[in-house]
Amino acid sequence: MNSQTLTSPDVVSQPARLRSDLLAIADLVEPGWRVLDIGCGDGALLEYLRDRKQVRGRGIELTEAGVLACVRRGLSVRQGNVQEGLADYPDRSFDAVILSQTLPFLDDPAMVLNEMLRVGRTAIVSFSNWGHWRCRLELLFTGRVPVAIDLPQQWYESPRRQLFSVTDFARFCRQIGVEIDRQIYLNRGVRIRTGRFKNLLSTTAVFTLNRRS
């Protein structure tokens, strides 16, 4: 796997309205790109990319509240299911397809990632890392399944999600023929240099993905 780790200073200035992983995703998007954000929520990332990088963006969002919020921002967003909404787009319709903090909720992540890489030249994903050392200690000493540090949610709350780590995801990508290209690791919203201990030290990961050549 050909991987390049992106690093930055310990303190990162960021707008209060944009989540840290969304800001990291924005740094991976080139000006003027055609972007599709699936599960785009209230459209904060698409608005940021439009205003800061002149991106031509579209979104797919399941909830009516999210779609209405996007419309108020003047964004082009359709209401639909993440796992079905990609089928309507032809091959290479976008430069990048984004999936932020949604992977754990998918019934068929392999299908979605393959569709993202069909529709876009590259895919950008972010997810919480349950391999972080605090999650490991909580499970060890309390016997309870931990919550994600950056996006806390109890196991019984809707929507339900599957727990996985950075190492789990890297292995999954190899199994489905997807290559991890660029990587950004965050700890409580701050970008960190992880070296060999990315699964132990990061609370959130942001990856760009491509087809394995």
Q: What is the pLDDT of residues 145-173, one digit of tens each?
A: 888 777 777 777 777 788 999 999 999 99
Query: Kind of pairing, strands 178-187 and 4-5?
Result: parallel
pLDDT digits (tens, 9 = 90+) for 79-130: 998 877 898 899 999 999 999 999 998 989 999 999 999 999 999 999 999 9
pLDDT value at residue 194: 80
Instruction: Work out the average pLDDT over 180-184.
Output: 96
Confidence of residue 31 (pLDDT cuts 50, 70, 90): very high
Residue 125 β-bridge partners:
99, 207
User: Number of structural domains, the chain?
Assistant: 1
Tell me the C-alpha distance between 28 and 53, whole Å: 11
Range of the domain at 75: 4-211
pLDDT value at residue 13: 40
Q: List C-alpha distances in Å: 16 to 13, 20, 22, 48, 190.
A: 9, 9, 11, 12, 13
pLDDT value at residue 2: 42
pLDDT value at residue 193: 87
SS (H, E, C) 164-188: CCHHHHHHHHHHCCEEEEEEEEEEC
Element of type H or E holding 121: strand 120-128
pLDDT value at residue 44: 96
Instruction: Work out the average pLDDT over 63-82.
Output: 94
> Which CATH number fits the domain that encloses residue 61?
3.40.50.150
Mean of all residue pLDDT scores within the chain:
89
pLDDT value at residue 148: 79
